Amino acid sequence: MDQAAIDRLAAQPVPKGRLLIGGAWVEGQGGETPVISPIDGRILTTLANASPEDVARATADARAAFEAGRWSRAAPAARKAVLHRLADLIERHALELAVLGVRDNGTEIFMALKAEPGSAAGTFRYYAEAIDKVYGEIAPTAPNVLGLVHREAVGVVGAIVPWNFPLMIGAWKIAPALAAGNSVVLKPAETASLTLLRLAELAIEAGVPPGVFNVVTGPGRVTGEALALSPDVDVLVFTGSGATGRRLLEYSARSNLKRCYLELGGKSPNIVFADAPDLAAAAKAAATAIFRNAGQVCVAGSRLLVERSVHDAFVAALCAATATMRPGNPLHLSTQIGAVNSETQLAGNLRFVADAQAEGGQVVLGGTRALAETGGFYMDPTIVAGVAPGHRLFREEVFGPVLAVTPFDTEDEAIRLANATDYGLAAGVWTASLARAHRMIRALRAGVVHVNTYGGTDVTVPLGGVKQSGNGHDKSLHALEKYTDLKTAWIQL
């Protein structure tokens, strides 16, 4: 990686965004919205606002492409070849995509390179390879009948994605949906659409046929709502806030009962027992678990539960580890904490800190806006100790660099505190006891439990939540279940 190459790319103007509908790039009927870079608060370009009529055209074109069968009825090996070509193109344009994404959403570049184009290319390859290895079933029926279980594409998939890792999360949904033969209409987030528009250009170059992949940008309450209400959408997949997730279920009920798969974030506990094998390593990991990408990570370890006997020493080690992590220009390779995505998000983060203090939490580090002179949106990594289960900071997702610390005395209390939230996405456990680790894995209500690490993952394992963190899974072969229907053939012999 080369800072000069990053700087050269970052100096280039960004073309204005348009909509991809039926294979053509078009203006939006809803006008345009400026894109503000969180790096310096300046206007980067504009996005097209797709009106409900634009969305209706996109979903109709997606349906027509599905019915026409050029993609949906192509041999799996043919779709595989195109998706591999797309992965090649993402790799070839990785630096360009990473820089564009960082200018749009503020993620630190060293992380964005791996987590965005790197991960997206890997995800397209994974589902490209998977799709010609998925078999149907022959049922164990009586000998005079043949029961065949087919797996079919569902039709049109609507995907609404957030702004924290648009390429990675977008690929988690687009890749298995396309691999299975569906058409897709994608609605990126207002503050992170640019890389997904570029991905769509690369998809066309790779040979995805017109109408199979469509992108409609615009406000959630207009463009997203129209997509979620569309009678042409068979399955809606979403990553974002719980409030929007609730609305999507209502839109589904009000329209065609489309299936909704929701990934809704978390308030994930990172639990440190006094018998952790390496408390210094645990302290460093606890810092990165919450502060990378300025805390804008759905699985962030945002609640730190520490056994009381090591609490004070651990918080001191955590503060020391965090002191080396300063927010900075996310386009610099050495920056460990990038920008907060938007001014609104920053204001919300600061409100959480004020509320935590009012409720009795002690801010032991940070708590303030940083680098205001740049015009961008930055926040110091913030640690609040003495956070109790009744506090807002214990229960609600900040989606920012704010860590809540709570002491506990026993394993039972740790489990009670860990599960005392409406969320259930991720958790971490630090202990040298194998027996305790397994007890905790069973007791924690979460989609993923990390042991003696926090946040490691790859495309081979499913990611999804329990409780109000959502339903359904991204990644792994399980994700294909969302994008396929079972069909039984019962044949009298």
Q: Which residues bind ligand ADP (CB under 6 A)?
A: 160-162, 187, 189-190, 220-221, 224-225, 228, 240-241, 244, 247
Pairing of strands 362-365, 156-160: unpaired
486 vs 134: CA distance, rounded Å = 13
Enumerate residues 6+ apart whose C-beta is below 8 A from 266. Answer: 298, 299, 300, 302, 397, 423, 424, 425, 426, 446, 465, 469
202 vs 95: CA distance, rounded Å = 14
User: What minimum distance in Å lies between the beta carbon of 182 and ligand ADP?
Assistant: 19
Q: C-alpha dihedral over 279, 340, 330, 7, to 10 degrees?
A: 170
Tell me whether residue 240 or residue 301 sits nearer to ligand ADP (CB atom): 240
433 vs 274: CA distance, rounded Å = 11
- Mapped onto helix, strand or coil, the DSSP state of residue 47 is strand
User: What minimum distance in Å lies between the beta carbon of 242 and ligand ADP?
Assistant: 8
446 vs 420: CA distance, rounded Å = 12
List the catalytic residue out of 116, 263, 307, 397: 263
User: What minimum distance in Å lies between the beta carbon of 161 and ligand ADP?
Assistant: 6
DSSP conformational letter for 220: I
User: What minimum distance in Å lies between the beta carbon of 274 and ligand ADP?
Assistant: 36
User: What minimum distance in Å lies between the beta carbon of 407 and ligand ADP?
Assistant: 30
What percentage of the chain's residues is helix, strand, coil (to nearest 5)?
45, 20, 35
- Mapped onto helix, strand or coil, the DSSP state of residue 473 is coil
148 vs 487: CA distance, rounded Å = 8
User: What minimum distance in Å lies between the beta carbon of 468 and ligand ADP?
Assistant: 13
Tell me whether residue 179 or residue 340 sits nearer to ligand ADP (CB atom): 340
List the catalytic residue out of 116, 190, 260, 298: 298
Tell me whether residue 217 or residue 335 sits nearer to ligand ADP (CB atom): 217
Pairing of strands 448-451, 235-239: unpaired
Burial of 56 per CB tally in 10 Å (0-12, 13-18, 19+): middle
Residues in the chain: 493
Tell me whether residue 61 or residue 225 sits nearer to ligand ADP (CB atom): 225
* Phi, psi of 100, deg, nearest 5: -60, -45
Tell me whether residue 72 or residue 223 sits nearer to ligand ADP (CB atom): 223
| Catalytic residue list contains 263 | yes
Strands (DSSP E) along 273-338, which ranges? 303-307
CB atoms < 10 A from the CB of 365, how many?
18
User: What minimum distance in Å lies between the beta carbon of 263 and ligand ADP?
Assistant: 10
> Which residues are catalytically annotated?
263, 298
